[in-house]
């Protein structure tokens, strides 16, 4: 038999490359779709669906801007629902039809998921060739935290995909013509802003890190021999082209975002109210007139401003048993060590041990830079806010591992490393299979696994309100007609499930006896985020009394995210 020609070998390699991509894409999508059918609504999804449908009906983004939620992912997940509504000729009921609508909305997130895998492949290939792209796809497609959010009708996968596309096009087009150097990054910056307001911070920081890495690699930045003033001047001079391009990327991206969001051409009620409360005088007259006539609201800047205000205020954080009303400085670095799979945490140390320079690619350095400054991020709602950083880190790690395998001198060393990488991917994939469908609850083995993860993390890291379906199955198995629930979540189908809301955090509770007196003769299921984590109503005395009392009791049963207590008749 004749030996295949180089062209034939290239064709087969390309076919194998695409089969690899499709296999991981399909397998991960099946994980997401099947898990989505098992989970109840998370805290944010009912709001996104209701406000998103209203946006399509009215053409106004007012509701989303008030929430600080950018419209692109919400528009996409609700588009088929609105189309269906128009076809049938009557509006959906947000409560009665919620269980029907949610699976379709969640499935639409897979469009962003495939976009993320596509750019992981492209970025990995640009850094380390075909195997860099293949390994990048495998690492992202098997990571439980990515899978968990890819199956939800939320915004975190969309910003991850758009930001990775932005950074890829910026880096690969840096020395190309105007279209690739400026126009394409501008489009992706606009899309990233439309996906999530955090792109306003992530975008420029990522592009700065990428540019510095490029200049260092090209030897365009001054060395340590000159004085610090000269180094500063020369560094600024080297960064001038980047600054000029960033000006157009920033302006163009913001303009694209504003154009998509549109405007209602109305006055802002809160501005009018504030102006009318000013003491009488010339300033008050001017401000009242301005508030009445400045009819430029609602617009896209409102969503950005809401998120900036949110970050300044902080949100409240819970991690490793510690709570803070605003933020914890160590939150994100520690959280990554808890929520990322064990092989992903081990791999950088292996590379650093044998060939540390392999980690100095722009994707991994960009991720490391963002983790380094993450203590300044005051909104600490879960690893979902750091998924763009994780994606960059995994792609850079994949490239570093491939480079390490190529550079080892002995064949047996290469085989050992290749086997180890394969075992690591298999380990992560097995972890995703074992944790299914509760990917949100994933805790790696280094921290003890999922069973006791509620003591380490809270909210979207473990119990985001998604456990009602599992709790309902437990209620039916026990033959209970009704179950009292102290619930962290916003599922609108709650009351028709045979459950009764017991909001202990807003009731008249002064001590443990008050808790027991309200519940005798009943079963009570309590969300893990309320019992051990941090709730938005946790500053009340009733909350602390109730949580402390229940933590001292032994539950009679447990689902993944609920603890169930029995209070006998007196």
DSSP for 450-512 reads: GGGGGGT--GGGS-SSTTHHHHHHHHHHHT-S-EEEE--S--TTSGGGTEEE--GGGS---SH
**Contact between residue 563 and residue 555 where contact means Cβ atoms under 8 Å apart:** yes
- pLDDT at position 323: 84
Q: How many CB atoms lie within 10 A of CB 38?
A: 14
Rounded CA-CA distance 523/556 in Å is 9
Rounded CA-CA distance 536/527 in Å is 13
Q: How many CB atoms lie within 10 A of CB 320?
A: 14
Structure tokens at 86: 């128009």
- pLDDT at position 1: 38
Per residue in 197-213, pLDDT (tens digit) is 999 999 999 999 999 99
**Contact between residue 36 and residue 103 where contact means Cβ atoms under 8 Å apart:** yes
The series of mean pLDDT values per 10 residues for the chain, 570 residues long, is 49 78 97 94 93 93 89 95 93 89 96 98 95 96 97 96 97 92 96 95 95 86 68 83 94 95 81 78 77 78 82 80 85 95 96 93 95 90 94 97 89 89 96 96 94 91 93 91 88 83 74 69 89 68 81 91 84
- pLDDT at position 419: 93
Structure tokens at 207: 């592009």
- pLDDT at position 508: 64
Full-model pTM: 0.93
DSSP E strand stretches across 321-382: 322-324
Give phi and psi for 329, each to the nearest 5.
Answer: -65, -30
- pLDDT at position 540: 73
Rounded CA-CA distance 221/237 in Å is 9
């Amino acid at each position: 038999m004749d030996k295949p020609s180089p062209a034939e070998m290239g064709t087969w390699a390309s076919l194998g490359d695409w089969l690899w991509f499709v296999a991981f894409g399909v397998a991960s999508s099946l994980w997401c779709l099947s898990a989505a059918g098992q989970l109840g609504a998370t805290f944010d999804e009912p709001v996104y669906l209701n406000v998103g449908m209203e946006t399509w009906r009215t053409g106004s983004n007012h509701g989303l801007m008030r929430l600080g939620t950018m419209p692109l992912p919400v528009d996409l997940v609700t588009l088929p629902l609105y189309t269906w509504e128009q076809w049938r000729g009557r509006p959906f009921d947000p409560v009665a039809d919620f269980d029907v609508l949610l699976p379709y909305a969640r499935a639409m997130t897979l469009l962003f998921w495939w976009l993320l895998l596509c750019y992981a492949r492209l970025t990995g290939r640009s850094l380390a060739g075909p195997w860099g792209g293949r390994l990048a796809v495998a690492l992202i497609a098997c990571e439980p935290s990515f899978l968990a959010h890819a199956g939800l009708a939320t915004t975190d996968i969309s910003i991850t995909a758009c930001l990775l596309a932005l950074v890829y096009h910026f880096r690969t087009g840096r020395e190309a013509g105007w279209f690739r150097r400026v126009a394409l990054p501008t489009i992706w910056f606009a899309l990233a802003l439309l996906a999530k307001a955090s792109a306003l911070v992530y975008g420029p920081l990522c592009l700065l890190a990428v540019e510095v890495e490029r200049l260092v690699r090209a030897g365009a930045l001054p060395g340590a021999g000159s004085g610090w003033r000269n180094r500063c001047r020369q560094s600024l001079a080297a960064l001038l082209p980047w600054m000029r391009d960033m000006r157009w990327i920033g302006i163009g991206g913001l303009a694209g975002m504003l154009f998509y969001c549109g405007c209602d051409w109305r006055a802002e009620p809160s501005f009018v109210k504030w102006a009318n409360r000013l003491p009488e005088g010339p300033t008050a007259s001017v401000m009242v007139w301005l508030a009445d006539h400045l009819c430029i609201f609602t617009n896209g800047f409102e969503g950005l401003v809401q998120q900036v205000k949110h970050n300044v205020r902080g949100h409240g954080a819970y991690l490793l048993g510690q709570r803070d009303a605003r933020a914890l400085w160590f939150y994100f670095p520690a959280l990554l060590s808890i929520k990322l799979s064990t092989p992903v945490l081990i791999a950088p140390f292996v590379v650093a041990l044998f060939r540390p320079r392999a980690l100095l690619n722009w994707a991994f350095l960009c991720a490391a830079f963002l983790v380094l400054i993450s203590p300044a991020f005051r909104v600490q709602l879960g690893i979902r806010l750091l998924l763009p950083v994780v994606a960059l880190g995994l792609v850079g790690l994949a490239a570093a591992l491939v480079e390490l395998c190529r550079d080892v001198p002995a064949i047996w060393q290469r085989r050992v490393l290749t086997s180890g990488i394969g075992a690591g991917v298999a380990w992560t994939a097995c972890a995703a299979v074992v944790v299914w469908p509760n990917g949100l609850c994933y805790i790696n083995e280094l921290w003890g696994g999922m069973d006791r993860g509620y003591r380490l993390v809270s909210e979207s890291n473990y119990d985001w309100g998604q456990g009602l379906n599992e709790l309902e199955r437990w209620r039916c198995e026990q033959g209970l007609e009704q179950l009292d629930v102290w619930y962290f979540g916003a599922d609108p189908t709650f009351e028709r499930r045979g459950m009764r809301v017991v909001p202990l955090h807003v009731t008249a509770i002064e001590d443990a006896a008050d808790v027991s007196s309200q519940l005798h003769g009943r079963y009570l299921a309590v969300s893990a985020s309320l019992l051990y984590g941090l709730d938005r109503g946790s500053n009340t005395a009733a909350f602390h009394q109730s949580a402390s009392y229940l933590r001292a009791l032994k539950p009679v049963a447990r689902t993944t995210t609920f603890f169930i207590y029995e209070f006998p008749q007196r």
